[in-house]
Amino acid sequence: MDNDTTVFLLLEFSKIWELRIIYGMIFLFLYLLTLAGNFLIISAVALDSRLHTPMYFFLTNLALQDIGSVSVIIPKAVFNSVMNIRHISYSECVTQVLLFVFFVDSDISLLTVMAYDRYVAICNPLQYEMIMNRKVCTEMVGSVWIASFLIAVLNTMGTFISRFCSNIINQFYCEIPPLLKIACSDLYVIEIGVVVFNFTLAVGCFAFIIVTYIQIFIAVSKIPSVQRRKKAFSTCFPHLTVFSLFLFTASFAYLRMPSDTPSYFDFIITIMYSIVPPMLNPLIYSMRNKDINIAFSRLFGLRIFILLGKGRSRHMED
């Protein structure tokens, strides 16, 4: 097929209208939940000056990346499900792959940077402010965005450099493994090499995080105060949980051979690494984080105070 005029057909959710509406509502609910949670994190950090620290600076960028990754795939999926549309143009598919890989790689890199930040904060607290100063943090985040974009460009070029023998993608968005499945040129080997390279980088990041947390746990175990130990562990376990869930589900999705026919198992695995982590990140990072919870209460308390103030002024006017 001529790639310039190719129109891909995505996974059909159902032939039954009622089921398509249900699928669309579920996706919309997950999307709105993800947006709400991550925007709350961004708002809390932006409005509370006490959260203007490297840890929450990285967390804000993670929230932005999570919003970006779900926004690339879910709105299109909701529209397709409700309107019973399967097609996506070649240019839209390229854009979707580029942006999704960009945001996903940014997540992996930033989670690795966050592990290093926790390591310095717990194992070398006296020099933390000097090591993790504003300039260093900005350079780290800038490097994450730039490197992730270059890797995304490499993945996208490797995926679409070959022609396709079919236009049927057995997934609800343009995902690399199903696209490689329908490639009919030997050039797809290039993208397989890129995928293996990405997997190696992800495993390297995971190994770095594991080694880092081993050092952190050793240092924390030596802290005499039980309360300080709990606080240190509460900032580490959520981070490790999020990264582990993302890495294992994404690795399974990308390294296994996609099936020739649509599979609910492939569908669920894709949701587990593309939608669930961005949705759970705000919950996991705020659930046991006292500073974030206080910022949330102040944020909502301020809004309630403003509403009450308006109500009182209207009452006096009446």
Arithmetic mean of pLDDT, 269-278: 86
Of the ranges 55-69, 116-130, 206-220, the best mean pLDDT one:
55-69
d(CA 56, CA 209): 18
Of the ranges 130-139, 288-297, 304-313, the best mean pLDDT one:
130-139
Task: Note whether 187 and 174 are within 8 A (CB).
Answer: no
Arithmetic mean of pLDDT, 266-286: 83
For 70-91, how does the pLDDT look when each residue is reduced to its tens digit (9 = 90+)?
A: 999 999 999 998 888 888 999 9
pLDDT at 249 over 80: no
pLDDT at 218 over 70: yes
Quote helix, strand, coil % in the chain, to nearest 5: 80, 5, 15
For 6-57, how does the pLDDT look when each residue is reduced to its tens digit (9 = 90+)?
A: 789 998 887 888 888 998 999 999 999 999 989 988 988 888 888 888 988 9
For 181-216, how does the pLDDT look when each residue is reduced to its tens digit (9 = 90+)?
A: 888 876 666 767 777 787 888 888 888 988 888 888
pLDDT at 141 over 90: yes
Q: Of the candidates 129, 34, 107, 49, which has an alpha carbon nearest to the alpha carbon of residue 291?
A: 49
Q: Which of 95-104, 160-169, 190-199 is predicted with the least confidence, judged by mean pLDDT?
A: 190-199
pLDDT at 168 over 60: yes
Specify the pLDDT at position 317: 45
Domain of residue 304, CATH code: 1.20.1070.10
Q: Between 284 and 41, whose confidence is greater? A: 41
Domain range spanning residue 216?
Answer: 3-256+263-317
Q: Between 243 and 168, whose confidence is greater? A: 168
Of the ranges 47-56, 128-137, 229-238, the best mean pLDDT one:
128-137
pLDDT at 159 over 70: yes
d(CA 286, CA 202): 25
Specify the pLDDT at position 277: 87
When divided into structural domains, the chain yields a total of 1
Specify the pLDDT at position 6: 73
Q: Between 201 and 153, whose confidence is greater? A: 153
Specify the pLDDT at position 5: 52
> Chain-centre distance of CA 6, in angstroms?
29
| Per-residue CA distances from 309 to 47, 187, 279 (Å) | 20, 66, 34
Work out the pLDDT band at 248, boundaries 50, 70, 90. confident
